[in-house]
A and B are shown apart, each in its own frame.
Chain A
Amino acid sequence: MRSIIKTSFAAAVAAAIASTASAELTGELKIISDMSNPAPRAVMEGMVADFQAMNPDLDIELTIVDREAWKTQIRNALGANPPDVVNWYAANRMRPYVDAGLFADISDLWAEEQFAALESTKGAMTLDDKQWGVPYTYYQWGVYYRKDIFEELGLSEPTTWEEELANCQAILDSGRKCYTIGTKFLWTAGGWFDYINSRTNGYDFHMQLARGEVEWTDERVRQTFANWRQLIDMGAFIDDHQTYSWQEALPFMLNGEAASYLMGNFAVAAMREGGLTDDQLDFYQFPKINPDVDYAEDAPTDTFHIASGAENMDNAKAFLRFVTSADNQSKINAGDALGQLPVNSEASISDDKFLQEGFEMLSSNASGGIMQFFDRDFDAEMASVGMEGLQEFMVFPDNLDDILMRLEETRARIYQ
């Protein structure tokens, strides 16, 4: 008994030293990551290599799994014989694992001095007043558009809903569609709802709806759909979008059949790869609808978590400190790495024009609040029923009453 106390005391001391003087770690560290696309994969492998170099005696085991598959597989991985560190997403998306006690409470980590620089994302990592993980990157959403088409038609970036509608009409008159979108996998429609709802009713209302505190049949929700419907009735979206994935919808923008795309910043890489130059491609913040409502922005945060059953808790925490450190944040979010935004306020931001613009927007023009995205803010079941309803609305707007009734039934059952 005595020796156990002794060793655990020694470990605690070692951990304390590790956080301050970064003494070298020993033992094991098992990580499962979902950063499987080429660029993120290189980043993840690079991070592990750096961490290894700092701690040559540490035995690190990294497994990278397919990002889409991970969404359903994480629950198996966290079950029996869990790894120490895993990737996941912020906000309500953590809920099932927090409730099941599979994520470790790391509030103590957040209480450390170093984490003050992560203050802006703390809310997204908090459930039940505790923190359950750390962010490593985030990215802005907004309207990516074909600058050359806008110039050809003499249009400028809209800032109000009226301008947005007028622009769209001009684009339609030129024989193009205003927006490309692929809703086969539903979530893309969630982006449109997030923006129109938060611009119509404000961030607080949007989050109340996400928490199930407002009825879907509420008049304010209907107003959101009425605004959305203006675009649908104009024929602003490409046809047959329910058949396409977001990638399959890209060619419409690439070959000029559609002028813009409401998307996350990760789409930029795909658009550049598809042949669009920075002269042809530009970005604007989703315009205001209700002038009295502050801008709120979708900026999904990707995260690391420690499994509650982790065998190497101290090593895992050290890794999380390393991931969020300013140096590492600058490095992994650089234009030639992830090409996204760092979560640490002391980190430097890539000079990529979209990242600069996005960072500017999020830090000075998103006073309403930061949304994590429809499928992360809403309860899982609500999100899946909800996004299906949104897709149906985009194809058959006349079904709105039925859709809202269905969503309300689901809300009433889930949030009892």
Chain B
Amino acid sequence: MFPTPIAKRSRTAQIGYQAFLPVALIVWLLPLIAVALFSIKPDADFTNGNYWGWPSSFEGFTNYGRVFFESNMPRYLLNSLLITIPTMVGAVALSAMAGFALGIYKFRGNLLLFFIFIAGNFVPFQILMVPVRDLTISLGMYDTIIGLVLFHVAFQTGFCTLFMRNFIRALPYSLVEAARVEGVAEWRIFLYVILPLMKPALAALAVLIFTFIWNDYFWAVVLTQGPGAQPVTAGITEFNSQFRAAYHLMSAGSIVAALPPVVMFFLMQKHFIAGLTLGAVK
């Protein structure tokens, strides 16, 4: 193990390390702790210039209550869910199929197609902005959830296919051969042989896509307007203009907007990290 395990060091080094850990963590999360502190302060603290002192009263319930009951926040959160979940399902399904095709079969153009998917995923997406916007408008899907979902599915397919194909590549090919000898139809091989083995990859991708899409801001701004279809990342700016300069409410709003992916991460940590670090080890 590297670096040398602390257990093998001197007693003082061990205590020093243990004591330093929380300090380092607090410094690391300082901006976030500041916002959390803001979000439970009463309005009066800001007018009195008590920004960083102890809150003069605990107003967490009031502040968060106003976020949920006096703004469009719940609607934006719902939109985010309605955008994120279908995208997650769609992108994972499409890429599982594409990954299967690219990972199992040998045919001319296989590698080329694979590289096109990867390259498309790396493209600066601003270059897609105007044409995708025009396309969405002409399909009558501007400012609709479905318009945003379709684009996200398409764009995420690049990344997901890379992921799935590499995962399938690592599965033992002999399974497919054995199934073929048995005379199993190809689509059944996918459904009953490969797919069950892909569960960890599916879970990992689903969590990753959830986070990516939930946090998207650029496309939300380009393809939607207003609380009808906008997700929470774009909605937070409207929320902030409603509560301009009311830092306690804006802080509470930000925390609410950031929370779902954080919860997702802590619940699904193993899959999340497995997904992110695929390829980081040989």
Do any CB atoms of chain A lie under 8 A from CB atoms of chain B in the complex? yes
Instruction: List residues of A whose CB falls within 8 A of some B CB.
Output: 65-66, 68-70, 72-73, 76, 79-81, 245, 247-248, 250-251, 255
Q: Flag if B225 contacts A79 (CB, 8 Å).
A: no
Q: Flag if A76 contacts B226 (CB, 8 Å).
A: no
Q: Flag if B226 contacts A66 (CB, 8 Å).
A: yes
Residues from chain A with a CB closer than 8 A to the CB of B140 are 80-81
Q: Flag if B238 contacts A80 (CB, 8 Å).
A: no
Residues from chain B with a CB closer than 8 A to the CB of A80 are 137-138, 140
Q: Which of B121-170 contact A (CB under 8 A)?
A: 133, 137-138, 140, 142-143
Cβ-defined partner of A251 (8 Å) among B133, B142, B143, B245? B245
Q: Flag if A250 contacts B226 (CB, 8 Å).
A: no
Most buried by B among A65, A69, A72, A255: A69
Residues from chain A with a CB closer than 8 A to the CB of B138 are 80
Known contacts A76-B137, A79-B137, A255-B47; is-contact A66 B245 (Cβ 8 Å): no
Known contacts A66-B226, A73-B225, A76-B137; is-contact A247 B142 (Cβ 8 Å): no
Cβ-defined partner of A65 (8 Å) among B137, B142, B225, B244? B225
Q: Which of B52-78 contact A (CB under 8 A)?
A: none
Given A66-B227, A73-B225, A76-B142, list of 6 further CB < 8 A pairs?
Answer: A66-B226, A68-B241, A76-B133, A80-B138, A248-B244, A255-B47
Q: Which residue of B lies closest to A244 (CB)?
A: B245
Q: Can you list 7 pairs linking A and B with CB atoms under 8 Å apart?
A: A68-B241, A69-B225, A76-B143, A76-B225, A245-B245, A248-B244, A251-B47
Instruction: List residues of B whose CB falls within 8 A of some A CB.
Output: 47, 133, 137-138, 140, 142-143, 225-227, 238, 241, 244-245
Least CB distance from B115 to A in Å reads 35
Residues from chain A with a CB closer than 8 A to the CB of B245 are 245, 247-248, 250-251
Residues from chain A with a CB closer than 8 A to the CB of B133 are 76
**How many A-B contacts at CB < 8 Å in the complex?**
35
Residues from chain B with a CB closer than 8 A to the CB of A248 are 244-245
Q: Flag if A66 contacts B47 (CB, 8 Å).
A: no
Residues from chain B with a CB closer than 8 A to the CB of A255 are 47
Distance of A66 Cα from B140 Cα, bound (Å): 20
Distance of A245 Cα from B238 Cα, bound (Å): 14
Nearest 5 Cβ contacts at the A-B interface: A247-B244, A69-B225, A73-B225, A65-B226, A248-B245
Main secondary structure, interface of B, reads: helix
Least CB distance from A221 to B in Å reads 33
Distance of A81 Cα from B138 Cα, bound (Å): 10
Q: Which residue of A lies closest to B235 (CB)?
A: A66
Q: Flag if A66 contacts B137 (CB, 8 Å).
A: no
Distance of A70 Cα from B226 Cα, bound (Å): 9
Q: Which residue of A lies closest to B46 (CB)?
A: A251
Most buried by A among B133, B140, B241: B241
Residues from chain B with a CB closer than 8 A to the CB of A245 are 244-245
Known contacts A80-B137, A80-B138, A80-B140; is-contact A66 B244 (Cβ 8 Å): no
Q: Which residue of B lies closest to A246 (CB)?
A: B244
Distance of A251 Cα from B245 Cα, bound (Å): 9
Least CB distance from A329 to B in Å reads 28
Distance of A248 Cα from B245 Cα, bound (Å): 5
Least CB distance from A66 to B in Å reads 5
Residues from chain A with a CB closer than 8 A to the CB of B244 are 245, 247-248
Distance of A69 Cα from B238 Cα, bound (Å): 9
Q: Flag if A66 contacts B238 (CB, 8 Å).
A: yes
Distance of A251 Cα from B133 Cα, bound (Å): 39
Residues from chain A with a CB closer than 8 A to the CB of B227 are 66
Least CB distance from A152 to B in Å reads 21
Distance of A247 Cα from B241 Cα, bound (Å): 9
Distance of A250 Cα from B246 Cα, bound (Å): 12
Q: Flag if A69 contacts B226 (CB, 8 Å).
A: yes
Distance of A69 Cα from B72 Cα, bound (Å): 15
Distance of A249 Cα from B143 Cα, bound (Å): 33
Least CB distance from B128 to A in Å reads 17
Residues from chain B with a CB closer than 8 A to the CB of A250 are 245
Least CB distance from B45 to A in Å reads 13
Distance of A262 Cα from B13 Cα, bound (Å): 62
Q: Which residue of A lies closest to B142 (CB)?
A: A76
Residues from chain A with a CB closer than 8 A to the CB of B225 are 65-66, 69-70, 72-73, 76
Q: Which residue of A lies closest to B134 (CB)?
A: A79
Least CB distance from B46 to A in Å reads 9
Distance of A248 Cα from B225 Cα, bound (Å): 24
Distance of A250 Cα from B138 Cα, bound (Å): 43
Residues from chain A with a CB closer than 8 A to the CB of B143 are 73, 76
Residues from chain B with a CB closer than 8 A to the CB of A81 are 140
Q: Which residue of B lies closest to A67 (CB)?
A: B241
Least CB distance from B232 to A in Å reads 15
Least CB distance from A386 to B in Å reads 24
Distance of A138 Cα from B165 Cα, bound (Å): 61
Residues from chain A with a CB closer than 8 A to the CB of B226 are 65-66, 69
Q: Which residue of A lies closest to B133 (CB)?
A: A76
Distance of A80 Cα from B139 Cα, bound (Å): 10
Most buried by A among B137, B225, B238: B225
Distance of A73 Cα from B138 Cα, bound (Å): 15
Residues from chain B with a CB closer than 8 A to the CB of A73 are 143, 225
Q: Which residue of B lies closest to A245 (CB)?
A: B244
Distance of A247 Cα from B246 Cα, bound (Å): 10
Distance of A76 Cα from B222 Cα, bound (Å): 11
Least CB distance from B234 to A in Å reads 9
Distance of A68 Cα from B133 Cα, bound (Å): 19
Q: Which residue of A lies closest to B246 (CB)?
A: A247
Q: Which residue of B lies closest to A75 (CB)?
A: B137
Least CB distance from B235 to A in Å reads 10
Distance of A35 Cα from B139 Cα, bound (Å): 27
Least CB distance from A138 to B in Å reads 23
Residues from chain A with a CB closer than 8 A to the CB of B238 are 66, 68-69
Distance of A73 Cα from B226 Cα, bound (Å): 10
Distance of A70 Cα from B245 Cα, bound (Å): 22
Least CB distance from A119 to B in Å reads 35
Least CB distance from A92 to B in Å reads 23
Residues from chain A with a CB closer than 8 A to the CB of B241 are 68
Least CB distance from B227 to A in Å reads 8
Q: Which residue of B lies closest to A275 (CB)?
A: B47
Residues from chain B with a CB closer than 8 A to the CB of A76 are 133, 137, 142-143, 225
